[in-house]
């Protein structure tokens, strides 16, 4: 789910931004063209145009605002915040500018200051629906769920057609533990433009009778959601359906080994015949899931031992680590933990450390000179079946919020998940346990960006675990 808040113009009616102010013809025309490129997603082009115009009008509030929004969207957060501050200097009583600065501060992890500017935006205009919406997202990040729900309710009262607010309200309810109501309300996400539209001539499953039917389950979001929600395919199988799962290529071999999926098809392959279809993310709602009875494990490693992990005589525990989200993910900076924090765990002879990290962050092992302290298994893992083989040989997985954490927990592997303050809704709000995974333990930041506290808890828990395995 893309939770990027809407952006707004300087006009008091709060229309979608960027929209140029009407001044001198040539300047207005250039600003209009830059704004068109911005709305079309050609952000590099828009940014270059804004910069050229800024050399002509260095104190132009909307230019700084639009530039700040564009920079936020490409992840240049410090520069984004600075431009929004300059826009407010030029027009300090504009509610939209306060809200846009709040959005940039939220993206940069400066939640307390972000909340102040969002409150200022609605103080300036009590009927500013987008201001209430953006304030709600910040409050939710801070764990102030009841206040967030109230703000989303106000945003919907001001604009009942705000589908994004309705979807974010569903997420807040699920974070609060109201899973049945939340998943039902979360169906509103299907009407958002970023939700992938399906083009099947067969009808969608509505939760009705499916005995003898061929049901295609498809991935709507990312790898983590497939790993999390494929468990509900067991319920379809129990009801007598022939279950077909369409998934990412990386998951095909893993899911083919389950006894509740009849057929697995990778994206891009020809689909077999089917009668009905459903998004995997919709299954908790469609199955009317009893969340108190949700259990694991429901995924397992393949029978053939594709990867073999070694032993050392003094090591009491074999642990796997995963520290960085894949580049390009919207929450990469927030979810990823510094490699150095994990590296500090590798100096214990009682721990045998295996890196499962994929992608460019694998290079940090060599960059930090850690090649003799941990085994780089990630370079030999090319799909989730192979990852499952490695996980099945571990005593413990320590991971940030990433697909491998869902895989380990779905297999019943002891899994410690390290979470930012503003954690994904799938891990709910507060507590050390996830509703989906009995073998998972959650370590949460007490403050935004505070990984020191998280790793202090991890080290303490490791000492306890080592004592536990040492006892006869």
- Taking Cα atoms as reference points, which of 117, 96, 107 lies closest to residue 72? 107
Domain containing residue 333: CATH number? 3.40.50.2000
Residue 25 in this model has a pLDDT that exceeds 90 = no
- By three-state DSSP, how is residue 241 classified? coil
Alpha-carbon distance of 168 to 133, in angstroms, equals: 9
Which residue has tokens 């998943």? 183
Return the pLDDT at 330.
60
Return the pLDDT at 306.
73
Region 139-147: mean pLDDT is 94
Region 131-140: mean pLDDT is 97
Domain count for the chain, please give it: 3
Region 390-396: mean pLDDT is 96
Q: What is the CA radius of gyration of the chain?
A: 24
- 333 falls in which pLDDT band (50, 70, 90)? confident
Question: Residue 271 falls within a domain, yes or no?
Answer: yes
Which DSSP helix (H) or strand (E) runs through 73? helix 61-73
Do 265 and 408 lie in one domain? The reply is: no
The mean predicted confidence, pLDDT, of the chain is 91
Region 175-203: mean pLDDT is 92
Question: Residue 6 falls within a domain, yes or no?
Answer: no
Do 251 and 364 lie in one domain? The reply is: no
How does pLDDT run across 84-132, given as a tens digit for each residue?
999 999 999 999 999 999 999 999 989 999 999 999 999 999 999 999 9
- By three-state DSSP, how is residue 172 classified? helix
Do 280 and 321 lie in one domain? The reply is: no
Region 311-326: mean pLDDT is 91
Starting at the edge strand that comes first in sequence, how are the strands of the sheet with 214-218 ordered?
263-266, 242-247, 214-218, 276-279
Return the pLDDT at 328.
66
Return the pLDDT at 303.
85
Do 173 and 29 lie in one domain? The reply is: yes
Region 189-216: mean pLDDT is 93
- 8 falls in which pLDDT band (50, 70, 90)? very low
Residue 156 in this model has a pLDDT that exceeds 60 = yes
How does pLDDT run across 162-175, given as a tens digit for each residue?
999 999 999 999 99
Domain that holds residue 237: 214-293
Do 31 and 160 lie in one domain? The reply is: yes
Alpha-carbon distance of 190 to 221, in angstroms, equals: 11
Do 331 and 400 lie in one domain? The reply is: yes
Return the pLDDT at 380.
87
Choose the weakest-confidence range: 48-57, 281-290, 321-330.
Answer: 321-330
């Amino acid at each position: 789910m893309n939770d990027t808040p809407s952006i707004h113009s300087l006009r008091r009616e709060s229309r979608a931004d960027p929209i140029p102010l009407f001044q001198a013809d040539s300047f207005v025309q250039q600003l209009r063209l830059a704004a068109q490129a911005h709305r079309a997603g050609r952000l590099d082009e828009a940014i270059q145009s804004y910069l050229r115009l800024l050399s002509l009008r260095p104190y132009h509030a909307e230019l700084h605002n639009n530039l700040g929004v564009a920079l936020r969207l490409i992840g240049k957060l410090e520069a984004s915040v600075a431009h929004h501050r300059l826009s407010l200097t030029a027009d300090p009583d504009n509610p939209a500018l306060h809200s846009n600065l709040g959005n940039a501060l939220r993206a940069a992890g400066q939640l307390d200051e972000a909340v102040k500017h969002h409150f200022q935006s609605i103080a300036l205009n009590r009927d500013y629906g987008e201001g209430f919406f953006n304030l709600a997202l910040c409050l939710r990040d801070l764990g102030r769920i009841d206040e967030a729900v109230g703000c989303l309710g106000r945003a919907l009262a001001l604009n009942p057609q705000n589908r994004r607010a309705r979807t974010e309200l569903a997420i807040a309810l699920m974070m609060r533990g109201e899973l049945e109501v939340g998943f039902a309300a979360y169906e509103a996400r299907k009407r958002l433009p970023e939700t992938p539209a399906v083009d099947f001539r067969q009808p969608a499953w509505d939760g009705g009778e499916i005995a003898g039917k061929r049901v295609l389950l498809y991935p709507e979001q990312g790898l983590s959601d497939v790993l999390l929600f494929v468990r509900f395919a067991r319920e379809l199988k129990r009801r007598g359906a022939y279950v077909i799962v369409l998934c990412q290529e990386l998951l095909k071999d893993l899911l083919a080994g389950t006894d509740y999926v009849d057929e697995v098809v990778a994206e891009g392959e020809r689909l077999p015949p089917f009668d009905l279809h459903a998004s995997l993310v919709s299954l908790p709602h469609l199955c009317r899931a009893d969340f108190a009875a949700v259990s694991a494990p429901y995924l397992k490693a393949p029978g053939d031992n594709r990867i073999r992990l070694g032993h050392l005589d003094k090591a009491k525990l074999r642990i796997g680590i995963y520290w960085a989200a894949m580049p390009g993910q919207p929450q990469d900076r927030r979810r990823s933990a510094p490699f150095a924090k994990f590296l500090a765990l590798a100096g214990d002879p009682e721990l045998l450390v295996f890196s499962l990290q994929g992608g460019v962050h694998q290079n940090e092992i060599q960059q930090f000179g850690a090649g003799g302290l941990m085994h780089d298994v990630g370079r030999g893992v090319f799909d989730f079946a192979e990852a499952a083989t490695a996980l099945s040989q571990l005593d413990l997985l320590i991971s940030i919020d990433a697909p491998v954490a869902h895989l380990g927990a779905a297999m019943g592997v002891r899994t410690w998940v390290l979470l930012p303050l503003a954690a994904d809704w799938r891990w709910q709000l507060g507590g050390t346990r996830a509703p989906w995974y009995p073998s998972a333990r959650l370590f949460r930041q007490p403050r935004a960006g505070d990984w020191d506290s998280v790793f202090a808890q991890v080290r303490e828990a490791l000492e306890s675990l080592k004592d536990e395995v040492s006892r006869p």
